[in-house]
Chains A and B, each alone.
Chain A
């Protein structure tokens, strides 16, 4: 069964510092991987996705993630945090067999300290 594990339910960074949100996945076949962001009182919106093309994926708002098969990881990074990045971030996985479910992680709340 597919699953994702997000390490750290809360992460705090200083404004201007590196953002690193960790995600490890489990899938018996090559996965599709996603990062979504949720701002307060809103729905989720896609940040970026990996669908077996380039392993380094660039998304919106300066975020990027790298698919590492050997480590079964898909960590999200941003070189310099901005106050507007404060939100909850969800990693998600689905396999490529046509199984249509996307399984979400528990989420990581990012706090940006001025």
Chain B
């Protein structure tokens, strides 16, 4: 079975540009999570969805960040405008059902803002 698929794997962009990260969760999974990983702060939960509905976006750092999930098989995380401090690895992850079940992570999108 295909795992969580993220694109792009690597992105280098200039400060001020819009960045869109994409995610396809595992088919049948009803929870989708966006995490950000940095050396300084580790792995932070940005937002999560349940059945395509955003449930908790309290981890989104500021209004420049937005996320959508228009259907069960696709989600985007957008940064507009991007800043150098947004440079990080962004992971999408999905899970089927209850809390104790396994979260499956994508391979990450490595973002560098110069």
Contacts and interface: CB of A to CB of B under 8 A. Distances in A.
A42 B6 CA distance: 12
B103 A102 contact: yes
- Is the contact region of chain A dominated by helix, strand, or loop, or is it mixed? loop
A100 B103 contact: no
A90 B35 CA distance: 14
A44 B50 contact: no
A101 B100 contact: no
B43 A104 contact: yes
B31 A100 contact: yes
B99 A45 contact: no
A114 interface: no
Given A32-B99, A43-B93, A96-B99, 6 more contacts: A42-B107, A43-B107, A44-B105, A96-B100, A101-B56, A102-B103
Interface of B: 4, 31, 35, 42-43, 45, 48, 50, 55-56, 91, 93, 99-100, 102-108
8 contacts: A44-B93, A46-B102, A46-B103, A51-B100, A98-B99, A99-B99, A100-B31, A101-B56
